[in-house]
Amino acid sequence: MANNQQMKVFLEQLTGQMRVLQLWQSTRPDKHLLESNQPFAVDTLQPHEWLQWIFIPKMADLIEREMPLPTGFCLTPYFEESWKSNHEYHELIDLIRAIDEECA
């Protein structure tokens, strides 16, 4: 079972790293863009937008409500492929890998 406190730390680190890389947005995307049925909302959002506006809030909400975190997912391959030409995102991908491992 994933540790909620450890996940909270990972989410804070993820947010901080996204800010450092200037991927954090101050304006929320239009509501219809967030309602995609596609994995990672690939048809409407950039990878970093999915992290900021869908993944982080959902995980933070589960932590806040002291609910069990989902397990058995693997985000890393999508982000490795999406950002394969962005070598400066290495630390961000490492954090995503740590999240995957925590939720294995």
Number of folded domains that form the chain = 1
Question: Residue 2: which pLDDT band, with cuts at 50, 70 and 90?
Answer: confident
Tokens for 8, please give them. 């909270």
Is residue 30, in this structure, part of any structural domain at all?
Answer: no
Q: Is the pLDDT of residue 1 over 70?
A: no
Distance CA 85, CA 83 (A): 5
Helix axes 90-102, 4-20, angle to 10 degrees: 170
CB atoms within 10 A of CB 14: 21
Say if 29 falls within a structural domain: no
**Residue 60 maps to a domain:** yes
Give the span between the Cα atoms of 90 and 93, in whole angstroms: 5
Look at residue 13 and tell me if it is in a domain.
yes
Would residue 36 count as lying in a domain? no
Condensed to tens digits (0 to 9), the pLDDT of residues 64-104 reads 999 999 999 999 999 999 999 999 999 999 999 999 999 98
Residue 85 forms part of a structural domain: yes
Q: How far apart are CA 68 and CA 62, in angstroms?
A: 7
Q: Is residue 92 part of a domain?
A: yes
Structural domain containing residue 72: 4-21+44-102
pTM of the model: 0.94
CB 47 within 8 A of CB 82: yes
